[in-house]
Amino acid sequence: VNDNPSHYRITLSGTVKSPKLNFDPIFLMLTPIPLGMKTETAINIIPQDYLRQSQIQVELPKLELEDGDRIYPFSVQFPEGQDIVVSSDGTNIELICHIGFSSSRPVSFFENIFFIDEEGN
């Protein structure tokens, strides 16, 4: 390089990976229970390709009943926290989420629960 007029060409290439969340199980079906009782199940949330810490927020569905009343029968708890953590080897640590359901009125429905990171993904 010193006093040598040779030219060097460097080519770089890469792949951009968007962070995403996978779930185990991918589909949740809660069994029928008596009115006013609570059922709960645990799911694993598996973050992938997060390069920095983020936090998961949850949007729970509200149900509108035939008489116009609205209820929020779902509850969500993260016993070990809602933070997506990047380990020292660059992988993301799984999160445990407990999803609960309880209703004092009879309901049957098919709804989505949305898990959103700080970037809105």
In a domain, 29, yes or no: yes
In terms of residue numbers, what domain contains 103? 20-116
| Model pTM score | 0.78
Residue 101 domain-assigned (yes or no): yes
Distance CA 90, CA 108 (A): 42
Does residue 79 lie within any of the structural domains?
Answer: yes
Residue 4 in domain = no
**What digits encode the pLDDT tens for the residues 1-32?**
566 666 777 888 888 888 999 999 988 888 88
In this structure, what CATH number is given to the domain that contains residue 105? 2.60.40
**Number of domains within the chain:** 1
- Chain centroid offset of residue 50 CA: 12
Q: Residue 3 falls within a domain, yes or no?
A: no
In a domain, 35, yes or no: yes
Average pLDDT estimate for 33-43: 92
pLDDT of 113 over the 60 cut: yes
**SS3 call for 57:** strand
